[in-house]
């Protein structure tokens, strides 16, 4: 038997463990202003990229879910839809690249180097995937 959670207490726990910028508009604006002023962060583009990639990845996943789990056809029309959603994801990746003052090539090179270090034999390993070295993010 699992223990019943008191939902009122849980909501209070969530309130207490929420950062100020997550809970208060003025604190959020102060944090975003601080990031732009002190760190030269491109807050609007970075926010656009993060929200957009997440939303578009959800749309891509929705089509895959319907194909895999709900009987939607894997046909030319749905493959086209997946490609269009993937293109939207790329648009937001480009926004992230601009926000981080980088480009697709640098990101792909960094990813290649990270995965080559994780899998030096050039093949996937469940063990190495789940047991990473320090700083392997």
The reply to whether 19 falls in a domain is yes
Model pLDDT, residue 57: 98
Q: How many CB atoms lie within 10 A of CB 128?
A: 16
Q: Are residues 54 and 116 in the same domain?
A: yes
Does the residue 137 lie in any domain?
Answer: no
Answer yes or no: do 50 and 116 share one domain: yes
Number of domains the chain is built from = 2
Same domain membership, residue 88 and residue 55: yes
Share the mean pLDDT of the chain. Answer: 96
Task: Kindly tell me if the per-residue pLDDT of 131 is higher than 90.
Answer: yes
10 and 75 in a single domain? The answer is no
Mean pLDDT for the stretch of residues 6-22: 97
Local structure of residue 105 (DSSP, 8 states): H
Whether residue 76 sits in one domain with residue 11: no
Q: What is the mean pLDDT of residues 55-84?
A: 98
- The pLDDT of residue 1 is 74
Give the model's pLDDT for residue 47: 97
Q: Are residues 75 and 12 in the same domain?
A: no
Domain membership flag for residue 26: yes
Same domain, 46 and 32: no
Domain enclosing residue 106, as ranges = 42-124
Q: Are residues 63 and 109 in the same domain?
A: yes
Same domain, 77 and 91: yes
Q: What is the pLDDT of residues 95-122, one digit of tens each?
A: 999 999 999 999 999 999 999 999 999 9
Q: Which residue has the higher pLDDT, 137 or 100?
A: 100
Q: CA 78, CA 84: separation in Å to the nearest integer? A: 10
Dump the DSSP string for 19-65: -HHHH-HHHHHHHHHHHHHHH---HHHHHHHHHHHHHHHHHHHHHHH
In a domain, 109, yes or no: yes
> Model-level pTM?
0.86
Asked if residue 45 lies in contact with residue 95, where contact means CB atoms within 8 angstroms, the answer is yes
Average pLDDT over residues 34-43: 95
Is pLDDT above 80 for 67? yes
């Amino acid at each position: 038997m699992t223990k019943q959670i008191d939902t009122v207490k849980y909501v209070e726990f969530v309130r207490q463990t929420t950062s100020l910028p997550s809970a208060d508009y003025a604190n959020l604006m102060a944090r975003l202003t601080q990031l732009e002023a002190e760190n030269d962060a491109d807050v609007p583009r970075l926010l656009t990229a993060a929200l957009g990639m997440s939303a578009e990845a959800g749309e891509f996943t929705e089509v895959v879910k319907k194909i895999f789990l709900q009987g939607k056809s894997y046909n030319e029309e749905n493959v086209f839809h997946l490609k269009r959603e993937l293109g939207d994801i790329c648009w937001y990746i480009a926004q992230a690249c601009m926000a981080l003052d980088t480009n697709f090539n640098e990101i792909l090179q960094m990813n290649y180097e990270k995965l080559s270090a994780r899998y030096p034999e050039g093949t996937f390993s469940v063990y190495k995937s789940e047991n990473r070295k320090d700083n392997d993010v």
